Amino acid sequence: MKQKIFALLAALCLLAGCAGKTEPVAPVVDPAPPTVDPTPVTPTEPSEAEQAEARLRERIAGMSIEEKVGQMFFVRCPEMGATEDVAAYHLGGLLLFGRDYKDADGGWLSAEELTAKLESYQAAADIPLFIGSDEEGGTVTRASRDPKLFAQPLPSPQELYAARGMDGLAAKTLDYNKQLLALGINVNLAPVCDVSTDAGDFIYARSFGRDAAATSEFVTAAVGAIRDAGVAAVLKHFPGYGNNTDTHTGVAIDKRPYETFEQSDFLPFRAGMGAGAPFVLVSHNVVECMDAALPASLSPAVHEVLRETLGFDGIVITDDLAMDAVKQYANGEAAVLAVLAGNDMLITSDYQNDIPAVLAAVADGRIAESDIDAHVLRILRYKQAQGWIE
């Protein structure tokens, strides 16, 4: 049987041409796919926000160091030569006090007179100025004390709330800030975010006078009203004043634990940031749980809390560097330390000495020019968003 099978296989092999050496069968290969040019990728057009940011960075790159440092100074308006100094020092802002609402003879300015005065300052500036005033209400008012500008000074937040409730407080705040803007004042150094419930505290009369939750509600309402009026709100006095003494007249040491700030003092500031406040003002209190050596305004550690923990990316500004709490840092040193700490703007009366001190610190490498650029970028972002610059 096996022999028959072998014979059959041999016959089949001969019929198929299997005898002798056979050629290998070539593998079947699919033809190469046709070459197709890849679809060109259209570059994504930068968004409006990206274009705006690029314009700002380009503008800053073209500014002199004197122009950039000048933008960081929000100075107390000088009695004489304000227009000249705005131009000479490239100032970023002017802060008005009581005397600025009066003429040379001590009489109150009319709306027309004040507006013309402020317009002359703006005309002298290459980049439009912040023009600010403290209009907290109650014991701290500037513009509304002028009877030619307002029917009465703005009542304190505590008085407004007691008489009108939160809606009435917000409505009055909106009305007064609209009038400020009409006069040419575009920054209100308010609201006070400090939590104080003790009438014996220095800051009590200026505060909302209630706990952190109620103060947060007030801050949200006040910032919203100031914002809706077209004015920039300034949250003060970070990280929270507590029961400390007056830093206008001396050093104040805050010994409270960090948990108190987390659970109370930070809450109104968070509320104000959430409501869109573009500024936070830092106090001169020495807050031991954050930095036992330096006033908050000059402390990198305190500014790190504000930037990193609370996530604030707006304009950080010092309290007035002319106050006694920082007078030990003389000859422009307070201004240099304020920049090193992370402030974007400095409130000062002594800008003729402070600006050269900061310029010298940049020249000798103590302050990096890239840090100056970052501060100026935050300032110009707001001015651009308001339509003041392209």
| pLDDT one-digit tens code per residue, 63-81 | 999 999 999 999 999 999 9
Q: How confident is the model at residue 6 (pLDDT cuts 50, 70, 90)?
A: very low
Give me the pLDDT at residue 13, please. Answer: 41
Mean of the per-residue pLDDT values of the chain: 91
Q: Tell which wins on pLDDT, 202 or 12.
A: 202
Active centre residues (catalytic): 248, 319
Residue-wise pLDDT for 110-155, tens only, equals 999 999 999 999 999 999 999 999 999 999 999 999 999 999 999 9
Residue-wise pLDDT for 331-382, tens only, equals 999 999 999 999 999 999 999 999 999 999 999 999 999 999 999 999 999 9
Q: What value does the mean pLDDT take over residues 267-272?
A: 98
pLDDT for 384 beyond 50? yes
Q: What value does the mean pLDDT take over residues 7-31?
A: 46
pLDDT for 298 beyond 70? yes
Residue-wise pLDDT for 250-268, tens only, equals 678 999 999 999 999 999 9
Give me the pLDDT at residue 159, please. Answer: 98
Six-digit token pair at 301?
């550690």
Give me the pLDDT at residue 46, please. Answer: 84
Give me the pLDDT at residue 48, please. Answer: 85
Give me the pLDDT at residue 44, please. Answer: 78
What is the layout of strands, in order, in the sheet containing 232-238? 315-318, 279-282, 232-238, 187-188, 130-133, 93-96, 73-76, 346-348
